[in-house]
Amino acid sequence: MKITVLAGGVGGSRFLLGVRSAYPDADITAIVNVGDDMWHVGVRIAPDLDTIMYTLAGQNNTSRGWGRVGESERVAGELRAYGVGWPWFTLGDLDLGTHLARTHYLRSGLPLSQVVPLLTSRWDLGVTLLPSTDSEVETHVRVEGGSMHFQEWWTRHRASLPALAFDFVGVSSAVPAPGVVAALAEADVVLLAPSNPVVSIGAILAIPGLADAVRATSAPVVGVSPIIAGAVVRGMADACLTAIGVSTSADAVALHYGARSAEGVLDGWLVDTADDAAVAPVASAGITARAVPLWLSDDATRAQVARDAVELALAL
């Protein structure tokens, strides 16, 4: 079975752990958001690709929720002493090794989609990672009086400055990375991870041609709600949803993605059992919904969410 997943960082990697665990023999491909990427202190940072790579490799820091396990911050201390970089944005030493390696390959002229396998080949991830695009399409946030990179809005301001809009800078000239359209066309099942609908899944679907490829696949497309009981599970995605006029609820996010039968991207949608009441409004929009537990807390619950998503897809 070929399973293709659209994914952001934290929600994406937890869901991918479940897919890999439930379907160890499947051919799993993740199309990963690059909107959070940026050049910083001379290196290219790719937070969502790295979060997924570290998590699937068992190298992620589970207590802190980001970065590498066993991390140290000696280089960050030196950068701070030189006054270089953002004092509120700490890059660990091991993490910087990844950024240096990626930057080395990018500067040698390779596109990101060729750099990713060179980095991931070090570990047995069990999932093929594809960046959504090779172009540098970065998410910027428009706020009162200006605009900033998503990373500054999210990490420095903790998403507390009201966002007026999100701009995917450079998106109009971008195309899906090599392999992305084929991974959708050849899939038996396409899944939307419970990732941020605006700056993760939204930034992936904004790449010209990508949403059309989701609409064109013969595979069923099923999404998993990142919203449980009217709240985000981790992070501050509600601030992103508010900015685009979507309320923080499992049904509002499904209606925002829309039914494939009505120019949207979904055939099916999983909501948490706490959001049972969302099933009917989602169904009336032409999206088959089911209520199942959606907390990705441990291996067993993650694998069960993956099975529920794939089984809903295969039943459509």
Return residues touching Ca ion (CB under 5 A): 8-9, 36, 48
67 near ligand GDP, judged by CB under 6 A: no
237 near ligand GDP, judged by CB under 6 A: yes
151 near ligand GDP, judged by CB under 6 A: no
User: Cβ 233 to ligand GDP, closest distance in Å?
Assistant: 4
Q: Which does 198 bind (CB under 5 to 8 A by kind): Ca ion, ligand GDP, none?
A: none
Size of the site for ligand GDP (CB under 6 A): 26
Q: Which does 232 bind (CB under 5 to 8 A by kind): Ca ion, ligand GDP, none?
A: ligand GDP
223 near ligand GDP, judged by CB under 6 A: no
Stretch that binds ligand GDP, among 9-17, 82-90, 180-188, 307-315 (CB under 6 A): 9-17
- Nearest residue to Ca ion, by Cβ distance, number only: 9
Contact 180, 31 (CB under 8 A): yes
Rounded Cα gap, residues 111 and 106, in angstroms? 6
Contact pick of 203, 228, 291, 310 for ligand GDP (by CB under 6 A): 228
User: Cβ 296 to ligand GDP, closest distance in Å?
Assistant: 3
User: Cβ 142 to Ca ion, closest distance in Å?
Assistant: 18
Residues that bind ligand GDP (CB under 6 A): 7-12, 14, 48, 51, 193-196, 200, 224-226, 228, 232-235, 237, 294-296
